[in-house]
Amino acid sequence: MKILKIKVMEKQKFYVGLIFLIFLFCSNISVLAQNDVMMQGFNFNVPVDEANRNGTWWDNLAGKSQELKEAGFTGIWTPPPSKALTGILDTGYSISSHFDLGNYNQRGTVETRYGSRAELENMVRAMHARGIEVYADTILHHITTDYRSLEPNPIVKAYVSGEANNGTRTAYPTNQIVWRVPNAPPGDYYFQIKRYNLPCAANSSERGYEIYATWTSPNPDYPFDPTYPQTQPFNLESEPNNGNGQFNAFPASGSRVWANIGQCGDVDEYKITLTRQADINVILSAMQSECYMGYCDQTRGYRISRVNSSQGELTNALQTLTYTHINYKKDFLCREYLCPKVFCK
Ligand SMILES: [Ca+2]
Ligand SMILES: [Ca+2]
Ligand SMILES: [Ca+2]
């Protein structure tokens, strides 16, 4: 009996162990089955019918939804569905309107690189029907503007003219301002440049800047874009150019001059000559000896402190334009499905 009892106990142990192993095996299986796997549903070279302004990517994804399901995918990451700056070719990361999902004629096209809004919604339905979640890369922190978004901004003008509350605040990003004398008649114009919030004790290479000016809009699609890189002969400022009869003649519309504020009291003056009426647009960019990947610290402040002309002083007429003319109207948002809960409480 004793032997038999031991055998029974060993048999019981065997079955308990077996059940435990089966439990472990099954629980592993169930953990594996619960793991979600997401597919990156795009790359930056997805095909697009540029000539017909026809994106085909949403349709392509919709057509692969069953295949994706069978492969075990439970989620798909899509590119930004919004209309972007360069229209039909844009990968979507230079968003110009978060609320245009391929259903408005903007940036030269109704559809985005990936397709129309209807095609987008069809793709989402196809994925959902197969249990695949769709994650749109909405990049709500991206917005890309260009000259079409420029507007006069008197508050920025006052802020910059007041040198960011006398240096107690951060400078407005220098290269995010277009200074404009609108409808300037033919004649000579003298622009004075001053600094604010600059490291005065540092080497003067830390106080470099570029002045770009245009008054003929050579490229109507992008009139304020300097042609990079600057090629020889380089245009460099020549001191003394401190006003009161001292100035540098600006080379030509669409060119650039590299300069620096020698000491923090340095003023630089440039003369622009118009032979016919035009808007004069000036962009200043901060430059330093070391700029990360070509991006210099634009919180080094430079500003146009004075404009004189043959007709007299024009400093008050000088406009400070910023890239802020973006309309996010509440009632428009409420009609869109993207953000109603956020904006329409
Ligand atoms: Ca399409
Ligand atoms: Ca200088
Ligand atoms: Ca000077």
Q: What pLDDT is stored for residue 343 in this prediction?
A: 37
CATH number for 38-144 (one of 3.30.300.30, 3.40.50.300, 3.30.750.90, 3.20.20.70): it is 3.30.750.90
Helix (H), strand (E) at residue 172: none
Q: What pLDDT is stored for residue 110 in this prediction?
A: 97
Q: Burial of 93 by CB count in 10 Å (0-12 exposed, 13-18 middle, 19+ buried)?
A: middle
Q: Which SS3 state, helix, strand or coil, does residue 180 take?
A: strand
Indicate which ligand has the atom closest to the C-alpha of 54: 1
Indicate which ligand has the atom closest to the C-alpha of 103: 1
Residues, beta carbon < 5 Å, ion ligand 3: 241-242, 266, 268
Measure 304 CA to ligand 2 centroid, in angstroms. Answer: 13
HSE-up (13 A, CA, CB side) for residue 318: 28
Q: What pLDDT is stored for residue 12 in this prediction?
A: 59
Measure 142 CA to ligand 1 centroid, in angstroms. Answer: 24
Residues 281, 179: contact at Cβ < 8 Å?
Answer: yes
Distance between start and end Cα atoms, the chain: 79
Q: What pLDDT is stored for residue 311 in this prediction?
A: 87
Q: Is the peptide bond before 226 cis (omega within 30 degrees of 0)?
A: no
Q: Which SS3 state, helix, strand or coil, does residue 310 take?
A: coil
CA distance 117 to 104: 9
Measure 206 CA to ligand 2 centroid, in angstroms. Answer: 12
CA distance 293 to 37: 35
Nearest CA to 47 among 37, 34, 58? 58
Residues 6+ apart with CB under 8 A from 32: none
Measure 4 CA to ligand 2 centroid, in angstroms. Answer: 105
Residues 6+ apart with CB under 8 A from 70: none
Q: What pLDDT is stored for residue 344 in this prediction?
A: 35
Q: What pLDDT is stored for residue 148 in this prediction?
A: 73
Per the confidence metrics, is the pTM higher than 0.75? no
Q: Burial of 332 by CB count in 10 Å (0-12 exposed, 13-18 middle, 19+ buried)?
A: exposed
Q: What pLDDT is stored for residue 268 in this prediction?
A: 98
So where are the chain's domains? 1-33, 38-144, 147-322
Per-residue confidence in pLDDT tens, the chain, 345 aa: 444 444 444 555 556 555 544 544 445 444 455 689 999 999 999 999 999 999 999 999 999 999 999 999 999 999 999 999 889 999 999 888 888 999 999 889 999 999 999 999 999 999 999 999 999 998 888 877 777 778 999 999 999 999 999 999 999 999 999 999 999 999 999 999 999 999 999 999 999 999 999 998 656 666 665 555 566 678 999 999 999 999 999 999 888 999 999 999 999 999 999 999 999 999 999 999 888 877 899 999 999 999 999 889 999 999 999 988 765 444 343 344 444 344 333
Q: What pLDDT is stored for residue 145 in this prediction?
A: 75
